[in-house]
Amino acid sequence: MVRRQRFFIISLCLAAVCSIAGLTLAFTERAHADVLSQTTQGTEAYCLSCHSNPDLKMTLPSGEELSLYISAEDLQHSAHSPLGIECEACHTDIKTYPHPVINYQTSRELSRSYYLACKKCHSTIYEKAQDSMHAQVAAENPNAPICTDCHGSHYIQPPDEPRAQISTTCSKCHTEIYDQYKNSVHGSELIGKNNPDVPVCTDCHGVHNIQDPRTTQFRIQTPELCANCHANAELMSKYGLPSDVYDIYKLSWHGVDVSVYKARWPTIWHDSAVCTDCHGIHDILKADDPASSVNPANLLATCQKCHPGVSANWTSAWTGHNKISQERTPLLYYIDVFYSSFIPVVLWAAGIYVLLQILRATVNRVKRSIK
């Protein structure tokens, strides 16, 4: 009994300290926290008086065993508890003991019901998530992720600390893609090295309103998506990469085609190559990596995905993401010189000759009319 009292006092003190800390947070967060902490403060200690028992569990009608244990220590380090957002903030239906009867058949059903509590405070993010691919498939697939699947329920931590945590979270379901990603030029820099410059899943796919990446709309946005980083001169110079790849791509046969589809027919599927068609998606490698799809050794096979049966000569039709230069593309260079220096001289000469003819004819006509 003495232990219990002491624990109660400690918990109260902790809650008080944490609610002061909460005041220092951002305004909106603070507003939520204030409202909630006023109404829910103290419930945590009360609940934990039972739920801190590691053996506490119940059996659901499905036969599934549901642990009811809450680690007081982990709770103290979660995002909510230190702000005074305690048990009753989410478990709104449980106000006293004995608890009302739980009617959920499975723990999944329970999660899918309880996670709606997130909406109370995080309504904007909740609404965003309702537009996502995950929410769309949730109608048929009860395992489609809900807030708590990615963020956790009781022991919520910042989702991006460390940054690689984001990819780890996605990998819980998207295992195969994660395996591709972790060996890619981007993933290998993130995992272990924690490079802040490389994209994690959410940088390309979005966070809460994740869309189906197999759609026409997603495909047409791909070049701009990659350009977010690859057209950033400052970022690219850090890695010795050119930042004009996107601009040169836009002038290419593929790029022009894609830009027209984007401007006019964004909902019509197009086959002109976007970045990922040649470079790969999750498995992108450096071009000089022998396994890269754009390595000269593999380039023909990559072209043949869309241009079946082309000969080995075909690959040199692709000038890379390079400007016309005398060393790299001499034929183009000399054609360009011919049309940008010699031909304008010829056309100007023709124009001036015609102007002189007009002048002389006009002078003659005036002279004749004066006579």
What binding mask, one character per residue, do residues 234-263 give for other proteins by CB under 8 A, x or -?
A: -------------------x--xx-xxx-x
What binding mask, one character per residue, do residues 200-239 give for other proteins by CB under 8 A, x or -?
A: ----------------------------------------
Least distance CB 232 / other proteins (angstroms): 23
CA-based end-to-end distance of the chain: 131
* Stretch near other proteins under the rule CB under 8 A, chosen from 8-16, 63-71, 183-191, 330-338: 330-338
Classify the C-alpha dihedral 79-85-88-89 as positive or negative. Answer: negative
Rounded CA separation 180/200 (Å): 13
Per-residue buried b or exposed e for 50-73, using 16+ beta carbons within 10 Å of the residue's own CB: ebbeeeeeeebeeeeeeeeebeee
Regarding 311 and contact with other proteins (CB under 8 A), the answer is yes
Regarding 367 and contact with other proteins (CB under 8 A), the answer is yes
User: What distances in angstroms separate CA 99 from CA 92, 93, 102, one per listed residue?
Assistant: 11, 8, 8
Residue closer to other proteins (CB basis): 136 or 329: 329
Residue closer to other proteins (CB basis): 29 or 257: 257
Q: Quote the tokens at residue 318.
A: 């692709």
Residue closer to other proteins (CB basis): 58 or 335: 335
Q: Quote the tokens at residue 253.
A: 């046969």
Regarding 306 and contact with other proteins (CB under 8 A), the answer is no
Contact residues for other proteins, defined by CB under 8 A: 253, 256-257, 259-261, 263-265, 268, 270, 307, 309-311, 313-319, 329, 331-332, 335-336, 339, 343, 347, 350-351, 353-354, 356-361, 363-365, 367
